[in-house]
Amino acid sequence: MKESKTDMNIPRHIAIIMDGNGRWAECNNKARLSGHKAGAEKIEEVLKWCREVGVKYITLYAFSTENWKRSQNEVSGLMSLLGMFLRTKKKKLIEDKVRFRVIGRRTDLDKKLQEKIAALEKATEEFDQQLILAISYGGRDEIVAAARKYAADVLSGKAEGELDEKLFSSYLFTGDIPDPDMIIRTSGEFRVSNFLLWQCAYSEFYVTDVLWPDFSRADFDDALSSFSRRERRMGGRLK
C-alpha cells in the first residue's frame, strides 16, 4: 500500500542533478539543444510539485564549471536558454511567490545575463519558497572560494570567532540555505559530479534511470516515498 502524502516526511530542501538531456534528445532523434530546452521546461513542473507538497528549497544543477569545456555551440545554446528562462519565467515566479537565486561563479557569465539574474533576484527576494540554480558551479571551487574569503577576513580583522564548521559554512554560496535533505539524480548515473560537496554530507541520495525531460510526477512521488522511509541518523545511533 502506497504511503499517503499526509503521512510522509517531506524534505525541506531537495537538490537535483538534472542529467540526461542529451541522451533524451538522441533517443528522440532531436538536436542536443532540444534536450536542454525540454529539460528547462521541466523546471516549472517540478516547482509546482514541490510547492504542492511543501518543499521550501529546490536547488538545480544547471551548469557546472566543467561544462564550459563543451563545444562553443552547445555552451552558447545553454546560455541563450538561461537568458530565455530569466525572461519568460519572471512573471510566473512572481505570481507563484518563488524566490529566485543563483549560486556559482556568476562573473563567468555575460554581463547582460548577470544583470538579468540580479534583477530577478531583487524582484523575488521577499518570497519564501526558493528556486536556486547552480550555474558555473563546482563544489570544489566553492570550498576554495570560501577558504579564500575567510583568509581575507582574517587578514583584515573582520573574521569573528574561531573557525568551525558553522562559521565556514557561512562563507559558502549557500551560507543562508539549509543543506539538502535529499539529492535526486536522473539518468541512472551514480556519482555526485562535484555538486554541493560540503552540503551533501548527510543528504539522502535517490537515483532514477529516468532521463530528466521525462521525469514525471510519479517519479517525483517515488523519490519522496523513498526519502520518507529512510531513517536519518546524521552519523549517530537511533535510540
Look at residue 211 and give its three-state secondary structure: coil
**64 in any annotated domain:** yes
**239 in any annotated domain:** no
Give 205's strand partners: 183
For residue 222, give its domain range: 11-139+179-229
Half-sphere exposure of 155 (CA within 13 A, CB side): 6
**38 in any annotated domain:** yes
pLDDT recorded at residue 4? 52
User: At 98, which CATH number?
Assistant: 3.40.1180.10
**43 in any annotated domain:** yes
Looking up cell 534583477 gives 119
Is pLDDT above 80 for 232? no
Closest C-alpha among 139, 36, 146, 24 to residue 85:
36
pTM of the model as a whole? 0.93
* Catalytic residue set: 19, 67
Domain count within the chain: 1
**146 in any annotated domain:** no
Is pLDDT above 60 for 2? no
Residues sharing a CB contact under 8 Å with residue 69, sequence separation 6 or more, in sequence order: none
* Mean pLDDT for the chain overall: 94
Cell of 21: 538531456
- What confidence tier does 1 reach under pLDDT thresholds 50, 70, 90? very low
Residue percentage of the chain with pLDDT more than 90: 91
What number of other Cβ atoms are within 10 A of residue 43's Cβ? 19
**97 in any annotated domain:** yes
Tens-digit pLDDT profile for residues 47-100: 999 999 999 999 999 999 999 999 999 999 999 999 999 999 999 999 999 999
Answer whether 54's CB lies under 8 Å from 10's CB: yes
